Structure 1
Amino acid sequence: MGDLEIRTAVTDDVPAIVAMLADDPLGAQRESPDDLTPYVTALERLSSDPNQRLVVAVREGRVVGTLQLTFIPGLSRRGATRSLIEGVRIHAEERGSGLGSRLIEWAIDESRKEGCQLVQLTTDKSRTDAHRFYERLGFTASHTGFKLQL
């Protein structure tokens, strides 16, 4: 699979990240690669929050994957900290290469290092391939999620 580096995202990575976010039917409806300003602002907020990790996977100097990992301290489950994996995207040319598994395994390892007792994620109901992918990695569809658009 070649050398792969997983590192914290920086401003120069934003165009590649947004391109991956927009590279599917759902993302194309909600992302706007034409104006990167809100994404750069969001990266600044994420970078200043110690409970957030926005990372990129880089191969041969090219961003080929990304995900956001959030640590959520809580009172339930005897004061457990959980992590939330969001925004997992793999460059179209890298899909099926095992890169997605490596990114998720990285997130799980980081969650363990932070003392998390639970790793959770959501994926759109229409992403049936993603559902199978997460199940192969040991995740179970244990809850029903709800969203309220503001």
Structure 2
Amino acid sequence: MYNIALHFGYQTSRESFSVLWKQENVFVEFDSKKRNLYFDFPYLSEKYKPEISYENIWQIQHHQPRGQAKNFLLIPLLGAPRIYVEDHTRHWVREVDFTSSCCIGQSSALCLEVPQKEQLPKFHGDFVSYKKNEGPFAQEDNHAELKS
């Protein structure tokens, strides 16, 4: 999936999510054999590749609010993502939380904002905890990095 907005934060209710950090224009790949999620994006002149393993995904909630041109995939996490950065030799090296306030490490969930025209992976076959919700869904920006 291309041009996805990736939000790290925490779920505040069934239909709302508080955002600590976000990144636009993210490439997202789902490996159905390993059942891992991979993200790829540039940030502050570096190229990052966070990875979330199947074991760290508690569930996947597909929110499809009526009347909105976006889908939201809310993914509560059991553990932190592995983060890789591309070094000068184009190799991927493990990295720590690169956000200014360690927002990724403070997050208990992530939310993918997906344009409705984008084809979603068939998560329901790979995740028994996949749920679809057509009710309202809102995101709240609650971090200084997002408000500047």
Task: Return the index of the structure with the highest Cα Rg.
Answer: 1
Higher RCO, Cα 8 Å, sep 6+:
2
Query: Going by fraction, where is helix more abundant, 1 or 2?
Result: 1
- Higher share of residues assigned strand: 2
Give me the TM-score of the superposition, normalised by structure 1: 0.30
TM-score normalised by length of structure 2: 0.30
